[in-house]
Structure 1
């Protein structure tokens, strides 16, 4: 009995250390006037390399032995699953002010299509120019789709926080960027399911996607009934436990089918109605959000185990250049086609370039499914962090230029 108890204590101690590192990372990010998620991700990913640098391989094996790394990986996966329930629910029910269909359509197309094309360009670079360590072993079609998705994501939760902090929530640029991000992220998650399925065969991918849509339709019909909604209103805590269990069960089943666990969580989140269910989803997502930093530490284990001297600088630069071109340039073009003035269009482009936590979750899913090599995963993580960190300074620059301009040009 002593050894299991000792292992449990070790796991809990590591979890506490990870959560403390995430807290410190958030505070450091706030002090630097950056979104909290930037500090949180950096803290999580750098924990393992830092221990390895200070204590060496033997020290890392003592701090994070295999029988502790396993439960840690599970905790991180649980966190991602529960967090994605909240993200999917918010994508379906999150309100944005009524906007013109034409404007939303142009901005959505501008923030998604050019970014997707830039992702295809990067995938071509990975396949034909980059070395084998960046290329990895994933099937070419799945890799191409995965990289394209990675460059097209906009993080709705982080974007919402940026808009609130900047007082842009009700501005034309803020409303257009949020509406475009909701549509873009929804499409990105569907494409992620296809990408993971393609690695196991196109027919299987289509079948699993259809199965997911059927489950989604059945869940929505069942939960719209008065009985479940009334129970959720009267017993939100019990309903939250039930939703968590359903999300974890769906995640396990989707993974068993050959998809990622987060795909099952996304289906559960989309199936949940609004109204009283919002109070049910909130604690589920909050618990997931608390555990998500654990998954960053797991990612850091992969980074630490990468070959020394293998920092993919070329891949980082290519990813950054194409990511900014696709999102800032595409968002600006879409907003201009929607007849927005130049300052509003540029603000939209900067906002949709915010990737943050949603991007990291997408990359984690691709990495776990074997679609991304460690080096390509690292390059895309750096891209996500840098583009998110750019948002604040670029918005300040746009504001200063707008204040200096005599009048917005159309």
Structure 2
């Protein structure tokens, strides 16, 4: 699988750096060539001699090493690999990557490359959960950086939670996946997800009850089949997909603009629960509660994103899939919606409170197309996503 693949392995500082030695051993065992780069902090945990002995390659350490620059400049080093892997990726190095800082060899290589980058984060759980780190993760994902891990478990600092670096064999599997060609390899697919928030004033908004879990699962399933996925999401609770370019939006208008901005695509899956209406003239300051009266709100229709893309005369995706969340006459309403919007498929589900589907872990859908309605059994949202991705792959291949 990895025969003669060239992996540029960047090792940054942290106790998890010891795992990089086993990672190198497993990569060499799989047939890959490993060119190691170590930060100054990494050398506090593992020695360049150990890394070099296992990689059977010279270790690159210093941005201003004249010998290294003469033999292979940092620009060439960053672009001669088939894949760049950062393991462990510390919060500090990820922050540099997100902000475009290049103040040492590792960060300069990462800024200068046009090669795919896979990072394996490792840090204290509080650092992982910190808003700054989460913002940086979102930025890196939107830039197309791939992630493996982190895992949840006990840490060297004595705390427990997410932040443990993925195990070496997990990272090797993720590296192998980067070189696999699936049925959607070369295909570019858009997925929308989550609710939209339509402001009433700075502290209130209109929204739908959507966790975004199904959209994330669909994006992950499409990526697993080799697709390049662009994931446009409202402020959802669900984690963002790790193998997709993520675009964060707030309102329906912003979502439409983002969707139009990433076209053309081969297929588009509109799983977002977009608010149908917005408040006209949303207030710039909080509406105060006054005795004896209620505020008067005027509403306007939001743009219809599904219909807009489905009815494009030029550059329309080959396959447009919409979702219909209904509470009664599900198939009849969804069938009518498909005809009205002009999309190819509608994935309909019953989101009545008693089903537990909205915000839950399972879904029961009916896929409605020109050929008719096909009801699937109730199953986990990951299973629904996998089945839908397989169907999309088959349709695009025909």
TM-score by length of 1: 0.21
TM-score by length of 2: 0.21
Higher fraction of helix: 1
Higher fraction of strand: 2
Q: Report the structure number with the largest CA radius of gyration.
A: 2
